[in-house]
Structures are given as C-alpha cells and as structure tokens.
C-alpha cells in the first residue's frame, strides 16, 4: 500500500498540506518523498510528485517516487503487480513496472502512447498509478480494472491526483477516477492560463465483449436447475482457483518491522460468515504452521439498541452483535474489537473525511466497521479457553471476502430477480453487479482501511478468479429454484461443507452494517441514502 499525490500547476509549487501529508504517511509509513519537475527548462508548468510507501514486496523498500535518471520520467505506484504479460513478478513490482514503462516510452513518439498503454494493460493485480513520461510530455493515470485501489482527481489549476482528498473536502470538488481505463494528459500546450487539461481515455479492453477488460460473462439460460453436490467438478474447481488466488496474496508477505516469527503477518476481516470463513480455512492450509492468522471481529455499542436493552451490560451487548455470534460459531479465538459509542463519536469526522467523496449514511455505517476493524485493536485470546487480553494485531495485510456476493449471487435482490423473471432476470442482475464492481465501494474501503498502515487484499477479486467465475453457467453459481435464499452462493456453500464446515455453509447473508450494528446508531428512521452532515 502506498500514498500518491500529484499536482500540475502554472502558478506555483503545490505540495500536499500537512494534514494530507500525515494521511499519506499513514498509508505508507516506510518512506515518503516529494520531487518537482518541469516540462522543460522554458516551460512555466510545474509538476509535483509525492509518494509514501508501505513495503510489502521484494527484499527492500523501493523509495518513491521512482525516477528514471536518464529521461527524468516519474512513476508513483500504489499496488501489487502479481503478473505482467502473464509472467509472475518476483522482487519489487514497482521497480519492474517503471523499467517496462521507460522502455515503452522510448518506443513511443510524442503523439503515440500505444506502447505505454500496452504495458499497463498487461499488469494483473490491484493498483493505482500516475506515470509522467517526460520525454513525450504525457502524464498517464488510472486504477486497475476492478478499482481495488483509490485514486481521486480534482480538475483546475492546480490539477490534482491523490489517493485521498485533503482535509478541506467540503470546499473542494473531488471525484473518483473511474476504473474503466487508462487516462492520458497531453501536456504540450499545458502552459496556457488558466490550466485546462482534458484527459483521453484508453479502455482496458479493446474487445467490447469483455466485461471489465477481463473476460466474457456466461449469459446462457439453463433449461433446468443444476443441483450440485460436494463432489461436483465445479466445487473442486472453485477450491483450486480460490487457493491459487490466496497463494499470491498470502505467501512471501514479509514479517512486520520488529515482529517475532510468531507475530501475525495476515489478518482477516472476520464476521464468521460464509465468504470470510472459507478464506480463513483455506489460508490456514497454505501458511506454515508457525504463522498465525488474526481474525478481526468488530462489534459496536449502538445507543439505540442499548436503550431498548437497559438491563443488558455493555459487554453482553457486544456479544449479542450478530457478527460476534457467528464469529464465535466459526472460531473461538477471535480478536474482539469492541467499539464504545464514545469512540465512534470521537472518530466520526475522521471517517467522513477518509471516505470522501462518498457521503451517505450507508457509506458511514460501512466505513465505521471497516475503519475500526482495520485498526486491529481489542481483546485477543492467546489460546483455547484463555482469558481475553488487550491485543494489537501486527498484521499489515488484511484479507476481505468482498466480491463473493456479486460473483455467485449472494444478495436478496438476486433471489428477487429470479422470482420475477427466472434465470434471465437473475443473469441480468448478476451482470449488473459484476459490471459495477469498480464503481461502488472499493475506493472508499481502501481509503478507510489504509489509514492504519494496512493493505487490504481481495482474493475473490483476483482477475483470473473473476474471469473463471464469470464464465460459469448461472445454475452452477446459485440455485433459487426452490424459492429459498439458502440457494445463494450454492457452489461456495458446498465448498464450505466439503471443507468440514456444515454450519458455516448454512449461514445467511448479512450486511456488515447490520452484523456489527453500525446502522441507524442514533435514529431508526434515517435512510441509508441520506447525505450525512459533517
């Protein structure tokens, strides 16, 4: 995880504010630097690049911004390139991306950016980036096909790109960079005042039939329902593909600074539900026995619910949160993150600024849960039957189960679509969910959780995994033919059963804001779509 802040200005040097610099350091505590450059010696346009680094790849921390000493080109890289041109990346991925971009830039003329775009299209993994090809006077920026890393843009003079907005969010007009392609600014005429920069977009996919630039969605309508069993081929394939996705995200994670061999490198956002428990089970098979995994289970003191249960102690209120109950069903040893309402109130303005430009009550409810879960501070049990003790996770990599519902039909609206229009309605609803994976909440989640010096990874959103899941017939993903919501994520439930977790296989879908009780904390009448007040 890294922080990016880039400005293009005709007026003066525009560095990040002190508040924003602190937030960039939070995202990347291992290194922070700023450099400035101009288009050439006679140009009035100045470009300022700031990068912070959380070093999780290779045997050293690659200091950013990455600068080519020969050409002066600059790369700010926030991500994980697992593969480029289908070949696995070992060592530091940012340095290898820079080397490929520099080579591509030498092949491109001033008005032709195809070579650089092709390199970026060849990267598999979550990332956001800004790359300045100084020779060609072109600036490239964007997010990966699924939008798993945050990048915001604020047009004007200065023109600003940043992983996170500055603290004066309500006086600024920021928007999320769409995860639909690579954006290019031609800076040959950037010296005109006022500064007007209009990017050109290069779609991720040249083939319009590819969804998200990854693969084709199987829209075939089955003639009848497909009743799978634990022995079905697709269940074995799911296990293999998910294990491979986890392999990229779990293995080779360096030990946290100052940590012992037994300290956790990995933590899982853990509700005890289907998606995250399957991840925990498979992750435990992949990691060496001496490496522990922290399970982060968060519960909130909701004053509205507390008022309805005055005879119940605060500790019991935490234990009665739905996600705490299911978490204990799955695993006894949890990091219990109990959040008093006073803590929620104290951090409210910070969470609102971190999640910006998202700005609804639902955004805030979800962000509260992710923010405090990622902090990883609570009561931990060291062994079976031991008393909980104060504990702070050492893990700098978090795993999230996000994506399973969209790919395998986990929402109530999927069952509703099937009830209305059978398989055709279900297929259209699933296609809609997959198509907007990068537009809804991934940037927000990245901004909120990265504030705690953590990087969140999404095994269900690996490109190869998504491609495989999209190609599956809908009848192998979910089965609502009997009218039961238990048919959601049919193939994933069968995998949980096959892994020896029959109770987990039956767990219903529960939204995070209801499982942790962050929804409607002060009023039962507020709507999730209501805009929040600072």
Active site positions, annotated? 2
Residues 6+ apart with CB under 8 A from 150: 128, 143, 163, 164, 176, 442, 443, 444, 446, 447, 450
Q: How many residues are listed for the chain in this entry? A: 534
Distance of CA 32 to the CA centre of its chain: 22
Q: Are strands 159-162 and 266-269 parallel, antiparallel or unpaired?
A: unpaired
DSSP state of 455: E
Return d(Cα 60, Cα 172) in angstroms, integer.
37
Q: Which two tokens stand for residue 532?
A: 């929040």
Q: Check: CB of residue 64 under 8 Å from CB of residue 2.
A: yes
Reading the block at residue 132, the tokens are 């300045």
Could you give the C-alpha distances from 248 to 230, 353, 387, 520, in angstroms and in order?
A: 26, 32, 35, 38
Those residues whose C-beta lies under 8 Å from the C-beta of residue 160, and which sit 6 or more positions away, are 5, 6, 7, 14, 153, 154
Radius of gyration of the chain (CA): 23
Token readout for 247 is: 């392999």
Compute the Cα dihedral for 122, 147, 170, 15 and give only its sign: negative
H-state helical runs in 292-340:
303-308, 314-319, 322-330
Q: Residue 359 in contact with residue 307, Cβ under 8 Å?
A: no
Contact 391, 379 (CB under 8 A): yes
**Are 343 and 242 in contact, with CB atoms under 8 Å apart?**
no
For the chain, the first-to-last Cα distance in angstroms comes to: 28
* CB 323 within 8 Å of CB 515: yes
Please report the beta strands in 258-312, taking only residues with DSSP state E, as ranges in sequence order.
266-269, 293-300
- With H, G, I as helix, E, B as strand and everything else as coil, classify residue 316: helix
d(CA 488, CA 493): 8
Task: Report helix, strand or coil for 134.
Answer: coil
- Containing 336, the helix (H) or strand (E) segment is strand 335-339
Whole-number Å distance between alpha carbons of 351 and 368: 7
d(C-alpha 407, C-alpha 430), whole Å: 7
* Sole residue written with tokens 């935490």: 318
């Amino acid at each position: 995880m890294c922080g990016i802040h880039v400005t293009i200005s005709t007026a003066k040097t525009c560095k990040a504010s002190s508040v924003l610099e602190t937030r960039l350091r939070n995202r990347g505590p291992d290194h922070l630097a700023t450099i400035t450059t101009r288009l050439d010696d006679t140009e009035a346009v100045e470009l300022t690049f700031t990068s912070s680094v959380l070093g999780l790849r290779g045997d050293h921390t690659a200091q950013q911004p990455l600068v080519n000493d020969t050409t002066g080109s600059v790369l700010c890289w926030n991500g994980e390139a697992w593969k480029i041109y289908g070949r696995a990346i070992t060592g530091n991925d940012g340095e290898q991306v820079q080397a490929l971009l520099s080579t591509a830039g030498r092949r491109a003329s001033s008005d032709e950016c195809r070579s650089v775009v092709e390199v970026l299209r060849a990267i598999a993994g979550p990332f956001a980036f800004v790359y300045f090809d100084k020779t060609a006077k072109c600036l490239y920026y964007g997010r990966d096909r699924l939008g798993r890393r945050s990048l915001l843009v604020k047009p004007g003079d200065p023109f600003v790109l940043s992983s996170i907005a500055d603290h004066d969010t309500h006086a600024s007009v920021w928007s999320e960079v769409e995860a639909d392609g690579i954006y290019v600014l031609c800076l040959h005429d950037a010296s005109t005042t006022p500064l007007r920069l209009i990017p050109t977009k290069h779609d991720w996919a040249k083939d319009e039939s590819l969804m998200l630039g990854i693969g084709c969605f199987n829209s075939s309508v089955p003639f009848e329902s497909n009743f799978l069993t634990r022995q079905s081929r697709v269940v074995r394939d799911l296990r293999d593909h998910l294990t491979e996705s986890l392999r990229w995200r779990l293995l080779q994670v360096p030990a946290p600074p100052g940590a012992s061999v037994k300290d956790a490198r990995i933590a899982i956002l853990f509700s005890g539900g289907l998606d995250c428990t399957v991840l925990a089970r498979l992750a435990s098979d992949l990691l060496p026995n001496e490496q522990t995994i922290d399970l982060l289970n968060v519960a909130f003191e909701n004053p509205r619910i507390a008022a309805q249960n005055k005879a119940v102690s605060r500790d019991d209120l935490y234990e009665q949160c739905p996600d705490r109950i299911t978490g204990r069903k799955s695993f006894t040893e949890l990091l219990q993150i109990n959040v008093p309402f006073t803590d929620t109130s104290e951090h409210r303005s910070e969470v609102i600024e971190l999640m910006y430009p998202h700005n609804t009550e639902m955004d805030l409810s979800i962000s509260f849960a992710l923010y405090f879960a990622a902090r990883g501070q609570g009561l931990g049990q060291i062994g079976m039957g031991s008393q909980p003790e104060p504990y702070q996770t050492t893990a700098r990599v978090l795993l999230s189960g996000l994506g399973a519902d969209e790919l395998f039909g986990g929402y109530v609206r999927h069952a509703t679509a099937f009830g209305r229009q059978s398989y055709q309605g279900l297929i259209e609803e699933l296609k809609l969910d997959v198509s907007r994976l990068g537009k809804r909440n991934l940037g927000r989640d990245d901004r909120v959780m990265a504030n705690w010096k953590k990087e969140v990874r999404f095994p269900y959103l690996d490109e190869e995994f998504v491609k495989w899941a999209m190609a599956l017939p809908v009848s192998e993903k979910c089965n609502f033919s009997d009218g039961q919501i238990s048919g959601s994520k049919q193939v994933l439930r069968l995998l949980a059963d096959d892994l020896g977790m029959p109770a987990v296989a039956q767990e219903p879908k529960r939204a995070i804001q209801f499982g942790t009780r962050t929804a409607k904390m002060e009023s039962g009448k507020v709507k999730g779509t209501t805009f929040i007040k600072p």
